[in-house]
Each structure stands twice: as structure tokens, then as C-alpha cells.
Chains A and B, each alone.
Chain A
Amino acid sequence: MSNKGRTLIRMGLLGLTCGIILCAGPASARFRQAQVTIGQGPSSVVCTNGPSFNLRATDGHISVPDGNSIYMWTFAEVGGPFQVPSPVLCVDEGATVTVNLTNELAEPVSIIFPGHVGVNTTGGTPGLFTAEAPPAGSVTYSFVASEPGTYLYESGTEPRKQIEMGLHGALIVRPSLGANYAYNDAATEFDPGREYLMLLHDIDHNLHQAVEWGEPYDYTTTRDYYWTINGRAFPDTLAPNSVAWLPAQPYSALLVVEPYDATTNPLPILLRYLNAGLQNHPFHLHGNYTRIIAQDGRLLRGSGSEDTSYQSFTQTIGSGQTYDVFMRWTDVDGWATQSTPIPVDIPDLTNLFFHNAMTTWSGEVPLGEQGDVPVGVTVHNICGEYYLIAHSHALNEIQNFDEGMGGMTTFLRVDPPGGCMPVP
């Protein structure tokens, strides 16, 4: 689906079928990012700051857009709510990270920190990969966050079960150069208001149901039915952070970019991909190539500091991998919302069915052009902003229990220069 026209058509169809949930995300995102700090955007990464963390392994339910709810396990903050995914742990390079884990589940749990050296454990009981917290018990992990970057943390206890159940999260180590850099390299400066978490996961709800009900599950028959970004399945991925109707899924996956401008908007947005799932996921954004600057917490540089970052359209995010990715949207057509709207083929109105006032269609939503909006159809487009799909290109994964579209899908929202201001 790299064809623009096809995507627009698809969005029109999507609008016809999705109704209020899809449309509430962009519509409520009325904001202007003037002076931003890290994480300030309504869909930017939300940090839980360390370097000491008190986590509890616990259980609860998430909701998926088809109305189902799924039993999950997670690492939640002690004193904080159940949430999926587990909190994004943010620390500064060089800090000694301490994670106290208490176990509210009925079986041993643990945390491993892939990519980190010399993780010390205190307490707990010996496990296959690391020390574990027994039921009602605890264990402490500590290590020095010696290298900046994006990392997973996840269960090291029966990982086939526990990681899928949700015992995983993201760990961000900020470089000493500054929090608006991805690494200790001046070329890794990013737009600090536009830093995004892209934590991928795949779910066979039959496992979750079996665990919830204490029934057996045959891992050799696994078949995934749900795919999530930041614990949400599309179209929930579009809603801002911490919306009331997703109480256990606080992290948005809506990507926002403004057209590149050497003077007024020179910095790329940063996407931090992590694949906590069991499957490898080929993922792409429509609208431009992305630049892969790092993998698994290591900046792509040659032994002589050569820049070995590379452009990629579809990037396969392997299981257990992380990628740090820069993205710019370059307006080669001199797009202006009113005077030179992005051209689009408007489908024949007579071919469309308008369900109710919440119906959206491609004549009015994301196209930078206001078409003939039928009477009674609510306009959701705020400022002529432009939406591009971003999704797993394993296309079976962009659905919720065999219903498309859904799953591992989100949007890249291109705002007019200066931000999204309502059209007068």
C-alpha cells in the first residue's frame, strides 16, 4: 500500500466503517506545539523517570477495538495502575539503574535487560536466565546504564508465556550530550516534542484466556489474532496518551510531523521501535523513507566513525530488536492548505454510503482539501492536516480478530508548517 491514491481510497472506506473511535483521536488533538520539551506532545513518549524503579508484576485487562478484552500481565509501578505496556523507564547515561520487582502473580517472574552488561541481582530465587521473584516475593536488579539508546526489558522466566502475556516494556537511556539527542553524536538531535514510542507486540488471545482460566494451552498451535503498537490496536493507536476510555493503555501511537524546513523545522522526529513480540514485523510509514540510525542501542557508525545509518522504507523489526529511526516529511510540492492543497481524487459521492453524522470520508478528512461535504456529515479535519498510514506490512497483522483494518497500524499526521491551527 505505498500507493497514495489507494491509501486515500482506503482511508475513505475506513472512515465509513470506523465511526467515532477513529475520528475522536485526530479531532481531539487540537494543539499547537510552540515550545515543547521532551514528551510534551499529546502522543509523544511518556517517560517514567528513574534511575530507581519500583515495579510490581500484576494482571488486568486491556480492550481491543472489536470490543473484546484481553487478560494481560504487566510490570506496573508500585502504587500506580495496571498498564500495558509496562512503563517506559527513562534514565540518564551512566546512571545506576535499580529495579525493585515485587510479584503479585501466582508464579515466579523476573526481568532481563537485553543489551546491558553486568546486571546484578539481589534476593529472589535462582532462575534459568536470572534471579526470579517468587509469588509474593521480590528481587532487585541493578546495572549501570553505560550506553545510551533504546532497549527492551522483559521477563526472563518462561518467556514464551510471560513476554506474550505482557511482561515487557521499553527502557530509554538518554545520552550525556542531552535529552534531545538520541546518542552522543551531534547528528542525532531530534525534535524534542516529537519523540515516539513504537513498541510492537503480537497476541494469541487463546493463550491469555487459558492463563486467566487456569487451562492448558498448546504453544505449538499458536496463531495470533491481535497485534498492537504501544499496547493498543488500531484505531485506538490514534487516540492521545492517557485517554479516559483506555484506562489500562495509556500510550498513543499517533505520529506527528511538520514539513521539513531548513530554518523553521530542521529536526527530524524520532521513532523508537521495539519488538517485544514473538514474530518479526516488517513495518513502514507511508510518505517518506525513514533513516535507521541505531539498532539495539548502538549507533550505526563504522570503526572510523563513518556514518553507516541507512535509509529504509519497510524495515523488518525483528523479535527482540530495537531500532532508532529518524523521519522527515519533505514537502516537494509547495503544499499550502488553502491555495495549493494536496491533490486527490474524490470518489463519486453516489458510490458512498453515509451512515450518520459521525461518518467521515476522504472528501473531507485528511487531504488538505475540503471537498463537497454532504449535508449532515461532521467535519473532523482541523487544519487541513494530512494523514498517512503507518503499518505492519505483514498485512494479516493489520486487523483485529480477522476484521480489518486494525491491529499493528497507526497514522502519520502531517501538520501544516507551524503546527495544526484550526482553519478559520
Chain B
Amino acid sequence: MRARATTIIGLGLIFAAMALLLIAVPALAEPQSNPAEARQAEPVRAAPLGATVSVDLCAKAGTLTLPDSTVVDTWGFAIKPASVACTDVSVQAQVPGPLLEFTAGDSISITLHNALAEQASIVFPGQDLMPDHVGAAPGGSVAYSFTVDEPGTYLYESGTFSDTTAAVQVAMGLYGPLVVRPTTAGQAYGTPASAYDREAVLVLSEIDPDLHANPTTFNLLDYSPQYWLISGKAYPETDPILALPEERVLLRYVNAGLWNHTLTVLGMHQTVIAVDAYVKNYPHEAVSLIIPSGQTWDSIATLPAGAPFGTSFPLYSRNLFLSNENTFPGGMMTFITYDPTLLPYRNYLGLGM
């Protein structure tokens, strides 16, 4: 019986929670003897199926600190708590934006509150609504309503283009992952081939500091990234993907960058189960995957048996964007690591929204 649990990489909100959990784990290191039983204890969405889910997002300015202490200005999304203004200092822009997580059948209502100094909007590629390229004026808000019918891994991002900003809003950080879960828990797509034990959301993107310094005047023809991110972090600050031998790790790749990225996993093959949330009838195995800009790919990497605890399997850009500016190692790299402190089963870390 496989354990089923979920590791989310890429959600700024939960990093602190994850760290706390890891610290707490040794004290809890009594393996669950019955993963199936534990499975049922996994927190499911509070809302019943087919519920209406409301999310309030802010778009506002923030900063991102890179491993070499370089700080760049960003524009990012953030969860807006009720009765707190987006402009409040407690609301911090995230890059990438918060993981939006729904169950197939939910009716979604997302309100964007624009705390930027220019027009802002959100488009939801793959969802059933008209793309909004107008959005809300500074200080205003705009609402999006749609039903998420199809499970899968999606991207949401700024849809705003203007004479002055062109497509820089996405590059500035206005993007995030959106996951629609099927009603069958423990599967990405409600199919046996999409069953997994742990998962990681890997949002790929790049940083050209010049763009971030001058978003309103930057010419995208001069785009020349110096940092390469997985879920808003560059190695060595990227989050490891913790798992146990023989577990199936669902890798949800979301390329929010302006460039295509080719990602490799060493020590195993990964099985591609979906592209752009469209389930492949015939999954195929691969070492290296081309994830084009704007696409999402779901693969399942099954960790080999027999390796000692602590073994780390590199997961990295095979385009070898492995530097922070000119310093190696860095960039688009993390590790899938056998973690002896993991319970065979670990609860899914929810969004906390």
C-alpha cells in the first residue's frame, strides 16, 4: 500500500508551515501503520462539491530577494484577507502568486483588487471564461466567475497589455498556479494512471533585473534573464521535494516564464500523464521534458527502491540555467530527496485560505 500525501512546492504562504512541520516531524516519527486509514483523515476541502468558492486577490508591488542578496521589485498576487485592504503592509505580494486550488465542479468567483499604479487583470488559460485584457483600474476591482470542470494543472496570469507595459506584467511576477482536483482523492486526473503519493508544483520563470527596475520603459526585445526560478526561488533556496523510496511523486510543471525550459530528473524516468491539463491516452516515459512557455505538464516520477536515505535526485534545467547571475551553482535546480524523517504518509498541506 502506498502512502498518499502531498508536498507543495511553490506556495510562499506555506513555506513557513512546511519548515515547522519538518522540524516537528522527529517528534512525530511514528509511522502510520495504516496509510489507507490515514488517507481518509486527509483534510478535504471544507466546501462541499459543486460549491461556490470565492477568492479575493490583490495585485500589488513587492520585492523578491535572490540568493545573492539581490533584491528586485516585483508585482505579485496575494490573498486578500477579509476586512484588510490590499495596501495594508500585512498583505505581501507573492511570486509566484498563491496556489489556487479547487475541486472539479466548483463554481469559482475570484475578485481582483488592484493596488498597482496601472491597470491589472487576470486571465485563466484553459478555463471557461472570456479572457480579460482590460481588468481593473488602480484602486479598483474586477470579478471573474467560472466553473472548473476539468481537473488538472493550470496557470493564471496577468492579461493586461498596454502601450507602455506590453507583456511585462507577467514577467514582473503576476502569475501563479491553479490546480483543479478531481473528486477522487490521491489522483491528479481521476484516473488510476494519475495516482500519486506526493506532489510538487514547480512554477518555472526567469528574472531579468533590468526589467524589474524599469517595468514601464523596458523593451522586451532586450530581455536577458540573470536568474532562473522554481516557484519563485533560485537554488540553493529552492525547496527540496521530500519523498520515500518507491513513492510516486506528481510533478506539476507550470511554465510562467517567457522562455521555454527543458527539465531533467536524474536517477529515474518520469511518466508524462498530461499536457495543459489534457490527459494523455498513452503516457510516455522521459528523462528530459521540454516545457514551453505558458504550458503545464504533469509527470509522475516513481522513486527507485533500494537507495539509502538521504539520496538526492537532481531535478534541474537541462538548458543548464544553473547560475545566479554568473555564479554556479544556482538557478533552476532542486532535488528529490529521500527523507528519513518523513512519515510514510503526510497530510496534504493546504492553502490556509
A319-B262, A319-B318 are known contacts. Are A298 and B323 too (CB-CB below 8 A)? no
Give the interface SS of chain B, mostly helix, strand, loop or mixed.
loop
Q: Are A119 and B286 in contact (CB under 8 A)?
A: no
A318-B262, A319-B262, A321-B287 are known contacts. Are A278 and B269 too (CB-CB below 8 A)? no
Give the size category of B's interface with A. Answer: 35 or more
Q: How far, in whole Å, are A117 and B311 apart by their CA atoms in the complex?
A: 12
Which residues of B have CB within 8 Å of A320?
Answer: 262, 264, 287-288, 318
Q: Are A115 and B326 in contact (CB under 8 A)?
A: no
Most chain A beta carbons < 10 A, residue from B304, B319, B329: B319
Within 276-333 of A, Cβ neighbours of B (below 8 Å) are at 278-280, 295-298, 300, 302-303, 306, 308, 316, 318-322
Q: Does A219 sit within 8 A of B, measured CB to CB?
A: yes
Q: Does B229 sit within 8 A of A, measured CB to CB?
A: no
Question: Hey, what's the 0/1 contact readout for A219-235 against B, CB within 8 Å counting as 1?
Answer: 11000000000000000
Partner of A296, one of B226, B267, B282, B285: B285
Give the Cβ gap from B247 to chain A, nearest Cβ, in Å: 15
Within 258-316 of B, Cβ neighbours of A (below 8 Å) are at 260, 262, 264, 266-269, 281-290, 304, 306-307, 314
A119-B267, A280-B262 are known contacts. Are A220 and B326 too (CB-CB below 8 A)? yes
Q: How far, in whole Å, are A164 and B267 apart by their CA atoms in the complex?
A: 22
Q: Does A31 sit within 8 A of B, measured CB to CB?
A: no
Question: Hey, what's the 0/1 contact readout for B239-272 against A, CB within 8 Å counting as 1?
Answer: 0000000000000000000001010101111000
Q: How far, in whole Å, are A300 and B320 apart by their CA atoms in the complex?
A: 27
Which residues of B have CB within 8 Å of A316?
Answer: 290
Q: Does B325 sit within 8 A of A, measured CB to CB?
A: yes
Q: Are A114 and B320 in contact (CB under 8 A)?
A: no
Q: Does B64 sit within 8 A of A, measured CB to CB?
A: no
Q: How far, in whole Å, are A320 and B290 apart by their CA atoms in the complex?
A: 10
Give the Cβ gap from A240 to chain B, nearest Cβ, in Å: 31
Q: Are A128 and B329 in contact (CB under 8 A)?
A: yes
- Interface size, chain A (Cβ < 8 Å): 37
Q: Are B288 and A321 in contact (CB under 8 A)?
A: yes
Which residues of B have CB within 8 Å of A303?
Answer: 193, 282-283
Within 325-350 of B, Cβ neighbours of A (below 8 Å) are at 325-326, 328-329
Of the stretches A21-29, A71-79, A154-162, A391-399, the one at the interface is A154-162
Q: Are A220 and B318 in contact (CB under 8 A)?
A: no
Name the residue on B nearest A115 (C-beta): B287
Give the Cβ gap from A376 to chain B, nearest Cβ, in Å: 50
Which residues of A have CB within 8 Å of B178?
Answer: none
Q: Are B287 and A278 in contact (CB under 8 A)?
A: no
Give the Cβ gap from A21 to chain B, nearest Cβ, in Å: 32
Q: Are A306 and B282 in contact (CB under 8 A)?
A: yes
Q: How far, in whole Å, are A206 and B172 apart by their CA atoms in the complex?
A: 31
Q: Are A278 and B320 in contact (CB under 8 A)?
A: yes
Partner of B323, one of A220, A296, A321: A220
Q: How far, in whole Å, are A322 and B288 apart by their CA atoms in the complex?
A: 9
Q: Are A160 and B262 in contact (CB under 8 A)?
A: no
Partner of B322, one of A159, A300, A321, A322: A159
Q: Are A160 and B318 in contact (CB under 8 A)?
A: no
Which residues of B have CB within 8 Å of A297?
Answer: 287
Q: Are A280 and B260 in contact (CB under 8 A)?
A: yes
Closest 3 CB pairs of A and B: A320-B318, A320-B288, A296-B287
